[in-house]
Structure 1
Amino acid sequence: MKAPGGHVIRIELSADAVARTRFAISPLYQAMNLLFALGRHPQAVPLAWRRQAREVIAERRLWLLSALAISPHGYTPDFLTPEPSAYRCAVDTELHLVATTAAARVRGEMSVLLTGLAASEIPARTPHHLVLHALEQGEGPFADRLAVELHEFWTKVFQPRWPRVSARLERDIDRRAALTVRQGFAGMADSLHRRLSWDGGALVAGRAEPGGLRLSPPGLVLVPGTFPPGLMLSLDSTDSDAAAGRTRRNPALVYPAAADNPLDDQRLRSLLGTSRTALLTHLSQARTTTELADRTGLSPSTVSYHLQALHRGGLVRRTRRSRHVYYQAVGDPRELLS
């Protein structure tokens, strides 16, 4: 994982690669996005998040994760951010992928961290002695310990906030989808970040100048991130074809999710409550109780309770299709504020 900085990164996308480009909401990427931001743009991280993250790291003694992921420069191993396998990923699934990373990949990516990689313009980095000591215990235990620390970090920092965070990420993707319909893929790509642009069949990050890293992946995963202002690019830096611009996995590009109107969100939560507001943000299209429980992190019984109240209030409609009951918002919930 690297931050597209002063050097240009050109992700060349064929028509087939554009067709395979997709969005994903990833719990693990949000955790790494926060750690990445703490190392590179700590002043941009809201104070409450910054304080809690550092308190959790200290209290739970997450020293290996902190030493490896919080850095003002350089490369963070990409096995910590496996390619999202679905639109909405389960954190346990992602953590299992980290814990069971092949030893050869762990070894290769840690070699990149230690020695750099000219083809990807990754400079060498001298890690904390804790990282080197943990690595001496073997690649398997090394990956497993990082998965355990990531689990601790996500559970303490993100899990209580996940319904609100994931709803915001969902709204961002809805906006990008609407923009794609109106302006096409190029217009949507231009909207992701001020330093990203669509140029001649490629998504370009950084300064528009010769040289830099060129990739020709089979597709691209776009992941909205919780914390501005930076970009994160996750790919197989150890791939033998990297110098030729080819990668085995689809790169994942993390961009800052667009900010909501905080006044509206606060007023809506005051009017309806946090849980019901979170449910309404997911009901722009019809969904079942099970889908809503998965998206918000609430139990199915809690979701059902709040949906009944929203239905009685005329804020959602209920329809039956075969054996399933679907709920959908009636209009925009923000109209309640007008």
Structure 2
Amino acid sequence: MFSFGLDGQAFGRVRFCISPLWTVARVLAHARRSDARGYRAACRDTLRGGNLPLLASLYLGEPGYIPDFFSPHPEAYEAELTAELHQVASTPADRIRAEFAVMTRGRQGAVIPARRLPTSVARVLDRGEDTLREGVAAELEQFWRLCLSARWARMRAAMDADIARRAQQSAQQGVASTLGDLHPTISLTDDRLTVMSPFRARVQAPDGVVLMPSPVGTRVDVVLDPTPLPGQYRPILLYPASTADRGPRTSHRGSGEILGASRALLLADLAQPRSTTELARRHDFTPSTVSYHLGVLARAGLVTRFRRQRHVLYQRTHRAEPLLAAAVAATAGRADA
């Protein structure tokens, strides 16, 4: 589990961003999977083609940490690809050395296992950090041109739509609701933002965190600066962008198993935040029964949980709307029959 401490000022510094090269990194990470299909399989074939030796040796070789300078830390809401490539090509030599040291030695506190330096990378690095960083930038640009440039407009639209929806949610329901609704594995309690994970790290984030929607993948990736260098990068959370055409994560075919009469009743009453005790009183359930149903709904991503002062509150997410509408329609259909 990752836990980020956010005081009042840090909470105000939480921000969203869109990054072409972070999208490239996410695509590259998925392209290495044996079950890659469609354009991800095509991306894997591009890596295997022999023209991108640095990227291929790192992403298709031994699994493990990839140096962070491949995808520069975002400083603005949206960076231009050319600006990010320039950042890669001008990465300070001490950061390159520090990140490759993390890769080859590992880091226990950051849960990074050691991996060998690929031969193709070592040969270029022997010629100097400037040769390596320029080579990496050139290969990233080529991979972008071959695999992502034709898809970027659609990907960017999906990320823009996600951020716009969350901005509206923040205005209507508060930032806490938005943070709790990013993904079922993310929750906000008091002053800590928590991401469920098999890894464990408890980090203070005085400068907030960067939230980055991704049009690729279904899980949350947490990125921490693993180097001891001064001026530590703020944590990054990459989460799957939520778009209208994706629909909810839970199919309508299984909605009956998830909702049922009791859960549909509770879900319908969660347009505004309510506590377990309040829901139990309003619907004549025991608190333990309400708690059980809310747990099922939370694991399905249909409600979000957050703390307000001493009270833990629940509120339904946007993913619940289609299922709730389907449940209401089914009930009306049975009544008309």
TM-score by length of 2: 0.67
- Which of 260, 263, 269 aligns to 2:244? It is 260
Please state how far the C-alpha of 1:26 moved relative to its aligned partner: 0.9
- Equivalent pairs: percent with the same residue? 32
Please state how far the C-alpha of 1:58 moved relative to its aligned partner: 3.4
Q: Which runs of 5+ in 1 are unaligned?
A: 1-7, 242-246, 264-338
1:16 and 2:35 equivalent? no
Q: 1:95 maps to which residue? A: 85
Contact 2:5–2:204 under 8 Å retained in 1: yes
Identify which range, 194-203 or 165-174, moves more after superposition.
Answer: 194-203
Q: 1:221 maps to which residue? A: 210
Please state how far the C-alpha of 1:194 moved relative to its aligned partner: 2.1
Compared with structure 1, are the counterparts of its residues 127 and 193 closer, same or farther at alpha carbon in structure 2 (3 Å cutoff)? farther
- Which of 158, 175, 187 aligns to 1:168? It is 158
- Which of 61, 75, 83 aligns to 2:73? It is 83
Compared with structure 1, are the counterparts of its residues 256 and 91 closer, same or farther at alpha carbon in structure 2 (3 Å cutoff)? same
User: What's the CA shift string for 1:67-115, capped at 9, x where partnerless?
Assistant: 2234674211111121212212100000100111000000000000000
How many Å separate the matches in 1 of 2:188 and 2:208? 15
Q: 1:139 maps to which residue? A: 129
AA partner of residue 43 (structure 2): A
Q: 2:54 maps to which residue? A: 64
Contact 1:60–1:152 under 8 Å retained in 2: no
Contact 1:64–1:131 under 8 Å retained in 2: yes
Compared with structure 1, are the counterparts of its residues 132 and 72 closer, same or farther at alpha carbon in structure 2 (3 Å cutoff)? closer
Q: 1:178 maps to which residue? A: 168
Please state how far the C-alpha of 1:172 moved relative to its aligned partner: 0.8
AA partner of residue 144 (structure 1): E
Contact 1:21–1:221 under 8 Å retained in 2: yes
Q: 1:109 maps to which residue? A: 99
1:29 and 2:37 equivalent? no
How many Å separate the matches in 1 of 2:235 and 2:34? 25
Q: 1:278 maps to which residue? A: none
Contact 2:89–2:136 under 8 Å retained in 1: yes
Compared with structure 1, are the counterparts of its residues 162 and 208 closer, same or farther at alpha carbon in structure 2 (3 Å cutoff)? closer
Structure exhibiting the larger radius of gyration computed from Cα positions: 2
Query: Could you say what secondary structure the match of 1:87 adopts?
Result: coil
Please state how far the C-alpha of 1:213 moved relative to its aligned partner: 4.1
AA partner of residue 192 (structure 1): L
- Which of 12, 19, 38 aligns to 2:31? It is 38
Q: Which runs of 5+ in 2 are unaligned?
A: 248-337
How many Å separate the matches in 2 of 1:83 and 1:150? 16
Query: Could you say what secondary structure the match of 1:223 adopts?
Result: strand
AA partner of residue 218 (structure 1): D
TM-score by length of 1: 0.67
Contact 1:226–1:257 under 8 Å retained in 2: yes
Please state how far the C-alpha of 1:240 moved relative to its aligned partner: 4.8
1:156 and 2:149 equivalent? no
Query: Could you say what secondary structure the match of 1:167 adopts?
Result: helix
Compared with structure 1, are the counterparts of its residues 153 and 95 closer, same or farther at alpha carbon in structure 2 (3 Å cutoff)? same
Q: Number of paired residues?
A: 247
Contact 2:161–2:243 under 8 Å retained in 1: no
Larger relative contact order (CA 8 Å, sep ≥ 6): 1
TM-align CA RMSD: 2.4
Please state how far the C-alpha of 1:235 moved relative to its aligned partner: 3.5
Compared with structure 1, are the counterparts of its residues 161 and 60 closer, same or farther at alpha carbon in structure 2 (3 Å cutoff)? farther
Compared with structure 1, are the counterparts of its residues 59 and 260 closer, same or farther at alpha carbon in structure 2 (3 Å cutoff)? farther
